[in-house]
Amino acid sequence: MAGGSDGASARTALVIDANAARDGRELVDPRLRHADAEVRLPRTSEEARTNVRYFAAQGYRVIVGGPRAGAAARATGVAAVRAPDLAEALAAARR
């Protein structure tokens, strides 16, 4: 779980399209292993919608990256932070 700079505990979730979360031949970019957030890497649009809805319902701050995850946030009406790429998603998670 991510902690805010004011000491409050804010839970953060990253929902990043699986293909956007790769690093070369690695299935998961190593930076995601060290993210202070729950991470989901949906492979399909349905998985992305499920992940986004789940985390929003649990009160997480949701950050989405990739076309599937972004479309899932729009389709479900979740006010997610949208990141254009993995680096920006990780930066948003640290804020």
Question: Domain range for residue 68?
Answer: 12-94
Count: domains in the chain? 1
Q: What is the pLDDT along the chain (95 residues), one digit of tens a residue?
A: 334 444 456 799 999 999 999 877 888 999 998 899 999 999 999 999 999 999 999 999 999 999 999 999 999 999 999 999 999 999 999 99
Q: Give domain status of residue 17, yes or no.
A: yes
Q: Are strands 38-40 and 81-83 parallel, antiparallel or unpaired?
A: unpaired
- Does residue 37 contact residue 2 with C-beta atoms inside 8 Å? yes
Q: Give domain status of residue 58, yes or no.
A: yes
Q: Give domain status of residue 3, yes or no.
A: no
**pTM score:** 0.86
Q: Give domain status of residue 5, yes or no.
A: no
- Does residue 16 contact residue 86 with C-beta atoms inside 8 Å? yes
Q: Give domain status of residue 83, yes or no.
A: yes
- Does residue 14 contact residue 38 with C-beta atoms inside 8 Å? yes
Q: Nearest CA to 12 among 78, 76, 59?
A: 59
Backbone angles phi, psi at 8, to 5 degrees: -75, 150
The CATH number of whichever domain residue 67 belongs to comes to 3.40.50
Q: Give domain status of residue 75, yes or no.
A: yes
